[in-house]
Structure formats: C-alpha cells, structure tokens
Amino acid sequence: MKRGCRVRGRCTIIRILCPASQSKRSVMLKLIGISGSLRRGSFNTALLRAATGMMPDDAELEVQSIRGIPLYDGDVETQGIPAAVSVLKDAIAGADGVLLITPEYNNSIPGVFKNTIDWLSRPSADIKRVFGAKPFALIGASPGNFGTILSQAAWLPVLRTLGTRPWFGGRLLVSRAGQAFDETGTLKDEAVREQLRQFLAGYVAFVRERPPHESK
C-alpha cells in the first residue's frame, strides 16, 4: 500500500489496491435524466431507459419526468411555484449533473420540454442554485435522418443563459429511431448502444472533473 502511495497518480496497478487512491472513485455520482417527450412509446424515453442500464460503475442515472409540470403562467407563479416544479428543481440542485434527452419538433425544442425548463428557471434568483455550473449533456432520437441535430443546437443558448456547464466532448444523434429500437422500446442497434456507452463514459468523466475555479 505504501508503495502505491508513493507513486500515486502514475501507477495503474497499485491504484486498484490503494485506499487513498480509491476514495475519490468510490463516491457514486448521481445524475438525472429527463426525456422531453410525454408519448408512451417515446423513442427519447426509451433512449433514457437504455442509458440508465449502461452507466459506468461509478455513476447512476435517475429518471425524472416532465409529466405533471403545468404550462408556465406568470399569474400562477405569483401564487407560488407549483409543487411538481419545486420537486424537480430540488432534484436537479442535488444532482451532480443532468442529461437531457430531447426530441426535435419543427427543427427546434419541443414546447413541453422548454416549458419545463422555463418553470425550473423561476424565480430567477434560484437559477444559480438549480443550474449554476451544473454539468449538462444532450442526446436525442428521431425517426428522421438527422437525429435531433437542430433541437440539440437550439438547446445551447438556453443552457448558456442558465449558467450550466455543458459537455461538448461527445455527440449522440439517434437517427432512424424506428430501426434502432424494437417494438418493446429496447435499444437493439449495437452500434448505437456502443455510441451511447461511450457518450455516457465521457460525460461521467467530465462530471467528475472539477471546474478550474473549484480545484484551486
């Protein structure tokens, strides 16, 4: 063990046995995944389900839903933040990162999904607590040929406005989703499964890195 400590950071074999080196790795990361579709047979929700089963060992992906989030109405807000919104806000605030699984509607973000994020950004004084420097990542599935590329791009100004820390190290655009999933919603396309696995590994590694201002 002593030998491992002396070469810590450079050793690959000893690190497995060294409690000092393991302590950082053994903390499970808790990530949240939110699908932007309410549809029972949603490809995006199916993609989220697949992701939950393909996480690296040191991270878990908890499924949260946009169901139950009301339409944003400033008059409702003046009476108080709806309970479903507060619950989701607190879940995000307590998570290490958020994975958005976004459909594409008319080359952009589906209204129901954007509506949820808009609610989560209220009141604006709470944005920092919920979103500030939070590692976010995007994936999406579409039956068409472009796999939500425009929807994912449309999310970027939103994530920037909210002060998140988006991960740009990987991309997952699941096109022709009808062929990638079977009739039960299982992700059957092996190539896409491998892409998803690699995406999740890269994203989790990014979440585990501390931003420069925190590591000083």
Ligand X SMILES: Cc1cc2nc3c(=O)[nH]c(=O)nc-3n(C[C@H](O)[C@H](O)[C@H](O)COP(=O)(O)O)c2cc1C
Least Å distance, CB 201 to ligand X, is 24
Least Å distance, CB 170 to ligand X, is 20
Least Å distance, CB 49 to ligand X, is 11
- Binding ligand X (rule: CB under 6 A), the pick from 4, 18, 42, 196 is 42
Strands (E) in the chain, as ranges, are 29-35, 59-64, 97-101, 135-141, 165-166, 173-174
Quote the distance between the C-alpha of residue 18 and its chain's center: 31
Does 43 participate in binding ligand X (rule CB under 6 A)? Answer: yes
Nearest to 156 by CA among 120, 123, 117, 129: 117
* Alpha-carbon torsion (94, 97, 101, 106), positive or negative: positive
Alpha carbon distances (Å) from 202 to 108, 137, 215: 25, 10, 20
Does 37 participate in binding ligand X (rule CB under 6 A)? Answer: yes
Does 39 participate in binding ligand X (rule CB under 6 A)? Answer: yes
- Binding ligand X (rule: CB under 6 A), the pick from 21, 116, 142, 152 is 142
- Residues touching ligand X, count (CB under 6 A): 14
d(Cα 122, Cα 74) in Å, to the nearest integer? 10
Least Å distance, CB 74 to ligand X, is 25
Q: Please, how many CA atoms are within 13 Å of residue 43, restricted to the half-sphere of its CB? A: 23
Query: Judged by CB under 6 A, which stretch of 63-71, 91-99, 143-151, 158-166 contacts ligand X?
Result: 143-151
Least Å distance, CB 198 to ligand X, is 22
By beta-carbon proximity to ligand X, the closer residue of 131 and 199 is: 199
Site string for ligand X, 92-111 (x = CB under 6 A): -----------xxxxx----
Estimate the crossing angle of helix 83-93 against helix 111-120, to 10 degrees.
80
Binding residues for ligand X, per CB under 6 A? Answer: 37, 39, 42-44, 103-107, 142-144, 146
